[in-house]
Amino acid sequence: MNIRVLSLLSVFAVGLAALLAAAPAAAKPPLRVALSGDAMPLHGKKGGSFEGFEVDLAQELARKLGRKIELVDLAALDKGSFDAIKDGDVDCSINSITDVDAPPEGVALTAPYMVLPYRVAAKKGTKVDDLATFEGKVAVLDRATRDVVKAKMPKATAVPQRSQKDAVLALMRGKIDLLAMDSARLKVAIKDTSMKMVGNELEDARLVIAVPSAELERFDKALAAIEPKIKKLRRKWMPELGAATVEIARLVEALPPAWVELERFKGKQVVPVYCESATGRISFVKREGVWFLELVVGLESVDGKIEDIELIKPNHYKIVYTGQNIELKYKAGAKTGQWGKSSEFWKGKWKTFADAQFEEEYGGVRVEKCK
């Protein structure tokens, strides 16, 4: 081969490499998401297409991962969520899966995207004094609900149902006494019927996404990144649930072993003097599926429904309750359960806040010796 031919081949190779470098990268494959059945408002079919909170969640997740979405009906595959992932039929399953379900090897569960309480419903006029001592039949739709009923209602008999519709009909016809389900689905199931919720909450249902084990970190990061959008979707599909349940649950569960510093209270800056066991005087409780804040500041106590919660920056939260708001900051490394004394340049001198005689002059709310 002569030098001219080699030169031409070299030019051709360089040109081809340049074209390949300039060509757009191949499009990512669509995110195949498994769904099945009717579980509104989480997901269900309308006009042959899936809709609901989990469908919108799947779309936001796919967008964050830079992929289009393809919804796969598990009924058409005749497989469960875990098998569909193991066999490579889908990339994930957002199918009202709870974290009590044990995935097989190769499949993992993400952090919860929704926390909902389990509740029970009965026909109008049914009186249930104590769910723990109830001895009748309770309809359940899945293993997770069955296990909760067995644990919290040990004298009751859990009766599996094929579908939500079958469960409602069984209750209306008197074949079973109660219907157990997560609160979001139960509210939809008993809408426009004579049924009502009875008793207290049984336990929390923590909804998660099933994914290949190798992809768990990627999905968890994407979920955390779209949390503000998840909050909006929850308000869209489940406005009746009130408080932002999943954020409050995470807040309570993630409390670090450190002091709690209250930054603001009812719009005023809090002036901490000292308060032993301050952490125990700020608490969160659930009543009838809604989160409430219980707070003691000095001699004033507050008890209000939590309407929203916002992460201002790491370990610093703004909590809105019954038209008011507070700011909570968690400080790592401080002594557990104590505020500690603090000083500030006040009226021209450095003093501890214990020296301040009139809170009106400072413009804050003083906190002193909580017992």
Residue 231 one-letter amino acid: K
Residue at 70 is within a domain: yes
96-105, 240-249, 360-369, range with the lowest pLDDT = 360-369
Residue at 38 is within a domain: yes
Per-residue pLDDT for 46 more than 60? yes
Q: Which of 214, 223, 126, 252 shows the shortest CA–CA distance to 178?
A: 126
More confident call, 301 vs 96 = 96
Number of separate domains in the chain: 3
Provide CB contacts within 8 A for 90, sequence distance 6+: 32, 33, 34, 72, 81, 84
pLDDT value of position 338: 40
Provide CB contacts within 8 A for 106, sequence distance 6+: 85, 86, 212, 213
Per-residue pLDDT for 266 more than 90? no
Q: Show the domain range for 153.
A: 115-205
Residues facing 351 on adjacent strands = 344
Which CATH number is 194's domain given?
3.40.190.10
Residue at 361 is within a domain: yes
The verdict on 140 and 284 lying in the same domain is no
pLDDT in tens, 82-101: 999 999 999 999 999 998 87
The verdict on 261 and 337 lying in the same domain is yes
Residue at 16 is within a domain: no
Per-residue pLDDT for 363 more than 80? no
How far apart are alpha carbons 159 and 142 in whole angstroms?
A: 10
Backbone angles phi, psi at 340, to 5 degrees: 85, 150
pLDDT value of position 304: 81
Residue at 13 is within a domain: no
Residue at 165 is within a domain: yes
89-93, 231-235, 277-281, 302-306, range with the lowest pLDDT = 277-281
The verdict on 70 and 154 lying in the same domain is no
pTM of the model: 0.66
Residue at 276 is within a domain: yes
